[in-house]
Chain A
Amino acid sequence: MAREFEELYTSTFGRLVGQLFLVTGDLHEAEEVVQEAFTRAAGRWHRLREYDQPELWVRRVAINLATDGRRRVRRRLAVLAQLDAEAASVVPPISVDGLAVAAALATLPRRQRQVVVMHYLLDVPVGEVASQLSVPVGTVKSRLARARSALAAQLDVEIERPRSGHG
């Protein structure tokens, strides 16, 4: 178990943290949810090792954890308890363009960021996003539409319309 899991962990941790940062807007929180997802994966590794892409399971769990309201509240309370204002939103040292994208994403509600990342970054079709988040397809489309117009106003980017369907 240890070798296969370690390979997955080593090869995907950074990539997943980068993706989750787009949802959380906080590097520490992104690392935390990815680590938690990997901890859960380790507990189920005897089943996950049979999957074609265990990384997808880990990423899905991490994304769900990132939008878990109760978890966010707990984290905020912990941060407040530490009275560490900087820890509340850790923005890593990144390029100017990266900062612009991060700032634009930060203006979106977390659930809109979630669908933007899943659909536009990870190429998950709208139907599959709806399925993974257990929400109607129409909800995903409306979140994407709002996010698209907000991002287009702040970033000089091409944003194609969402692709429907599964797979």
Chain B
Amino acid sequence: MDRLKDRLAGLAEEVGELAQPPGAAVTVWRARRRRRRLVAGVAGVGLFSVVVVGLLLNPLGRGFPDADTPRPWTASTPTTTHRPKSLGQPAIYFGPRTLAPGGRLHVVGHGCDPSRQGEVSIDPLGIRASLPITKGGRYSTWLTVPRTAQAGTYDLTVSCRTSEPGNDSVVFRDAVVVTKPKK
């Protein structure tokens, strides 16, 4: 009576002699191809994640507003009845909306007549400055709030002219808050 181990070993040996290996080179090639696919997959997932996170943190490419980013003008309505079609609708952005004495306010926008200077002011602080307009109707300027300014709410006014004949000034107004001096 044979032992089970011997019978099993005999069968395994018989079958093993019939085996047809694809070859070591093929095996190594398959392993490398699999690894390349894995690396490519990981890279693809990583890139996709970066894009998704980027879109989540930066919706429509505009980014979250912060204190130093000029804010869109929302409070006032232009007093003009016409807006230049060729230069686009007048718009103004400024920031920060709240700043301490000595702080700088950035005012930017577009839609003004490039042949005429505009004006920007903060009252009643008495800050007044001309507003150079580029050929494209754009403008950008910085205003500095005096260190002696009292805390309170002040009027920011930006005015310029549209390019169409007979059109009047475009005036924007909004509030700027000056805080107490930083200690």
Residues of A close to B18: CB separation below 8 A: 27, 92-94
Tell me, in angstroms, the Cα distance from A94 to B7 when the chains sit together.
Answer: 13
B1 near A39: Cβ-Cβ < 8 Å: no
B21 near A35: Cβ-Cβ < 8 Å: yes
How many residues of B are in contact with the other chain, CB < 8 A? 31
Question: Which of A63-71, A72-80, A125-133, A152-160 binds B?
Answer: A152-160
Contact of B35 among A1, A5, A43, A158 (CB under 8 A): A43
Seen from chain B, the residues whose Cβ lies within 8 Å of a Cβ on chain A are 1-5, 7-25, 27-28, 30-32, 34-35
A95 near B14: Cβ-Cβ < 8 Å: yes
A22: shortest Cβ distance to chain B, in Å?
6
Seen from chain A, the residues whose Cβ lies within 8 Å of a Cβ on chain B are 1-2, 5-6, 9-10, 13-19, 21-22, 27, 30-31, 34-35, 38-40, 42-43, 92-95, 97-98, 101-102, 116-117, 120-121, 123, 151, 155-160
B4 near A157: Cβ-Cβ < 8 Å: yes
Residues of A close to B30: CB separation below 8 A: 39, 42
Chief secondary structure at chain A's binding surface = helix
Residues of A close to B24: CB separation below 8 A: 2, 5-6, 9-10, 38
Contact of A121 among B12, B21, B22, B35 (CB under 8 A): B12
B5 near A21: Cβ-Cβ < 8 Å: no
Tell me, in angstroms, the Cα distance from A163 to B12 when the chains sit together.
Answer: 22
Given contacts A101-B7, A156-B2, could you give 11 more A-B pairs where the C-beta distance is less than 8 Å?
A14-B17, A15-B16, A17-B19, A19-B12, A21-B12, A22-B12, A30-B19, A39-B27, A92-B14, A101-B11, A102-B11
